[in-house]
Amino acid sequence: MTITVAELVAVPFLNIRFHAGASGGERLVAWAHTSDLPNATDWLAPGDLLMSNGLNLPDTAEGQVAFLLELDSAGLSGLALGDDMHAPPLAPELLERADKLEFPVLAIPRDMPFVAVSKAVANANTDEEHKRLVQTVQLYEALRDSVSTGRSGATLLRELGRQLDCRLLLLDAVTALPVLAADTEPPAGLADQLVDELRGRKGMFPAVLRVQCNGTGALALRVPTGRPTALVALHDSGRAPDIALLQHAANLAALEVERITTERDLGLRMGSELLAAMLRRGIEPTSAAQQLGEQGIVPESAVFVSSRPGASANHRNLHHELAQREVPHLVLWSTERCLAAIPDTDQAHAALQNALGSDVALGVSDPLRRADRAPDAAREARWAETAANKLARPMVRYGEATPLFLPRTLGEAEIAAERVLGPLLTYDAEHATDLLHSLDVFLDENRSWQRSAEVLHVHKQTLVYRMHRVEELTGRDLRNTAEIVELWMALRALEFSRGQVWPEPVEGS
């Protein structure tokens, strides 16, 4: 049976005495731990006795009372201070509050090593340790049974919670979203409070993080996985589960999180490969439609969304967050942009925006409708994304806005490009020349003959000849500003309507 504070004080050779809170002598002492850290409760469990030289005890009465309240709120069994060490004088307010809370404040003689107190507690609690060992074995038996019967995931989490007499949740420590479905939802605001607390600590997880929300207590432990994940134990007041057992549960949960992560990574790769094949028309439409259905994507009601995420974003985080929000999707990622296929719903658009960041502009295509329309839908999404960025809008649908005064749609762009550049396109095709590219480089280099010739690796006079042919074929004068603008806009329209569908090389596929 676990030793009480009063029984510990009664051990003759320890000579421990009460400063205050003697009426709380029936509190159980699971372990006696030494710490002079100001945030000692981050490393202690309910039922622990904090032994200190007093370096963490504030000088002021107000600070001492606040420190006492923190220890009591964490469920500690008491505070034991070394005599004549570094503790400031105990304020009457602290002693009075300790008596009122029935929270033991003890004195350890100067000549008594703290380790002797720890050994006394350990020896007295031998039976309790045996009970904890049995419970630990039972936790691992639950994992074995779940693997053998194929009942993993939420079923395993529910069984672990039953054995620990608490409700367990697995939460993503970045998004506050559940990693596994649970029987009960966390109290409103608890997940966000947890994430805010970790952000305030710059992502550093203490041994145990205590959170109170709407009268419900919660203990959060880090799950040792690649992606920041927390095991959260919801408990009734005064009935917090054993921290050591929770740590075992966190290790077991890590296996489940890694299994889910592996499955999602496989889904990410398969989805990226499917989307890339559709863009290059490297898959038969019927097969593509079947695979889209397996991914939960219905072509008739799906859209492509183009964006340029920031440098800190990555395809794995995006994929995992959309999966946690239960949004069917395909994701293709490159060094330049992200293309996602999602259902055309407000929920899906909001989830994508949340995952990428509110400062990232989204361009949305017309409905995909058919798998073989993927290249056109990708161009539409890219067109709309250009408009969103130039107009500083969070999202633009294809055809809603005109980027850079260009035609509103790809169809209009093709007509505009053909009207201005048609003779040039025909001439290049019939004579295997490269006048169109030469014109694009010449305008891109601000009509610098020398720089343009260097980029094209041709003699300056060769470039002069090519530009004369461009003027003859298009009927535009490269010395006339208005006609230069017309050529440049036609080139941009051609780039969107007939240009590369997706930048190479593709990463993350």
19-30 tens-digit pLDDT? 999 999 999 998
Residue with tokens 């058919």: 370
Task: Report CA-CA distances (Å) from 389 to 119, 334, 352, 357.
Answer: 66, 18, 17, 14
Q: What does the pLDDT look like over 50-89, one tens digit per residue?
A: 999 999 999 999 999 999 999 999 889 999 999 987 889 9
The token pair that represents 463 in the structure block: 């470039």
Task: Report CA-CA distances (Å) from 298 to 97, 336, 370.
Answer: 64, 27, 9
Listed in order, the ranges of the chain carrying CATH 3.30.70.260 are: 280-405
Spatial separation of the C-alpha atoms in residues 344 and 110, rounded to whole Å: 72
Is-contact 168 157, C-beta < 8 A?
A: yes
Neighbours of 92 (CB within 10 A): 11
Kindly report the average pLDDT of the chain as a whole number.
86
Q: What is the CATH number of domain 280-405?
A: 3.30.70.260
Alpha helices in 336-409 (DSSP H): 346-356, 374-390
Q: What are phi and psi of 445, to 5 degrees?
A: -95, 20
Provide, rounded to the nearest whole percent, the portion of the chain with pLDDT above 70: 90
The token pair that represents 57 in the structure block: 């005890």
CATH class of 127-259: alpha beta
Q: What are phi and psi of 100, to 5 degrees?
A: -65, -40
Task: Report the CATH architecture of 5-124.
Answer: 3-Layer(aba) Sandwich (3.40)
- Note the pLDDT of residue 503: 56
Residues 6+ apart with CB under 8 A from 257: 170, 179, 223, 225, 227, 229
Q: What does the pLDDT look like over 333-392, one tens digit per residue?
A: 987 789 999 999 999 999 999 889 888 999 999 999 999 999 889 988 988 888 788 778
According to DSSP, the β-strands at 330-333 and 338-343 are: antiparallel
Listed in order, the ranges of the chain carrying CATH 1.10.10.2840 are: 410-498
Q: Which helix (H) or strand (E) holds 149?
A: helix 126-149
The token pair that represents 379 in the structure block: 């161009």
How large is the average pLDDT for residues 90-112? Answer: 95
Is-contact 306 378, C-beta < 8 A?
A: yes
- Note the pLDDT of residue 324: 86
Range 410-498 has CATH code 1.10.10.60: no
- Note the pLDDT of residue 499: 56
Neighbours of 386 (CB within 10 A): 22
Q: Considering only 227-241, 299-313, 415-429, 466-480, which range has the smallest mean pLDDT?
A: 227-241
The structure's pTM equals: 0.61
Alpha helices in 399-434 (DSSP H): 410-431
Asked if pLDDT for residue 400 goes beyond 90, the answer is: no
- Sign of the CA dihedral with 158 first, then 164, 167, and 168 last: negative
Listed in order, the ranges of the chain carrying CATH 3.40.1390.20 are: 5-124
CA proximity to 243, closest of 123, 75, 35, 119: 75
How large is the average pLDDT for residues 197-214? Answer: 79
Q: What does the pLDDT look like over 432-464, one tens digit per residue?
A: 999 999 999 999 899 999 999 999 999 999 999
Asked if pLDDT for residue 505 goes beyond 50, the answer is: no
Q: HEC states along 41-73?
A: HHHCCCCEEEEECCCCCCCCHHHHHHHHHHHHH
Question: Which residues is 212 bridged to in the sheet?
Answer: 217
Q: By three-state DSSP, how is residue 381 classified?
A: helix
Residues 6+ apart with CB under 8 A from 495: none
Query: 328: cis peptide before it, omega within 30°?
Result: no
Listed in order, the ranges of the chain carrying CATH 3.30.450.40 are: 127-259
